[in-house]
Amino acid sequence: MDNRPEDINQLTASKQQKPGFQLSSIEAQLMSEVSHNYQETGTLTDELLSALRFVYETPLLPALELVDNRAVTRLECPNKRQLYHVIGSSGVIYTCFQNNSYCSCPAYRYSVLLKDEHIMCKHILALRLSEAMGVTKIRLVSDKEMVSAILQVD
C-alpha cells in the first residue's frame, strides 16, 4: 500500500495547523516523497521542491547543489558504524552524523545551534536528500579508519 500523501501540500499544511506536530514526521514524509519521485522520474517536481523550500528554507538550494555535485559519501565499517563526509561548496570536507543531526561545519554551530535560525545545515540536508534519492557514494572503511574519522570530528 502506498503511504504517500495525496497532495504534497498536506505536509506543509499540517506543519502550520498543528503546533505540536513533529517535524520528524513531516521530514519522513517529505523524504519518502523525494525517494519515490526521484526513483520514478529522476527529478523532483516543482510542487515537491516548494514543500521542501517551505520546511527547510535557505539551506535547501545549496544542499541540492551538493547532491547534484555528488558531494555526499557515506563511510561504513564492518561493525555497521556510519558517518558521512560532505564536501562543502568551498571544498572543505565536513563530517556529519545522520541520526543525531550533527555537522562539523561552522554554519551548524552558528545558524542551527546558537541562533536557531535553521533546523539543519545544508550538509545534513544534502546527506538526507542524497540518501532519499539513492545517489550517496559509499566508501567501505576498516574499524580503525572509522575510529580515526570519528576522533577527527570537532
Helices 9-17 and 46-56 pack at an angle, to 10 degrees, of 20
At 106, is the secondary structure helix, strand, or coil? helix
pLDDT in tens, 38-94: 999 999 999 999 999 999 999 999 999 999 999 999 999 998 899 999 999 999 999
The pTM for the full model equals: 0.82
Total residue length of the chain: 154
CA distance 67 to 20: 31
Instruction: Give the model confidence (pLDDT) of 40-56 as tens digits.
Output: 999 999 999 999 999 99
Rounded CA-CA distance 72/44 in Å is 18
- Long-range contacts of range 145-152, CB-CB < 8 Å, 24 or more positions apart? 145/75, 145/77, 146/75, 146/77, 146/79, 146/81, 146/83, 149/75, 149/83, 149/85, 149/95, 150/81, 150/83, 152/95
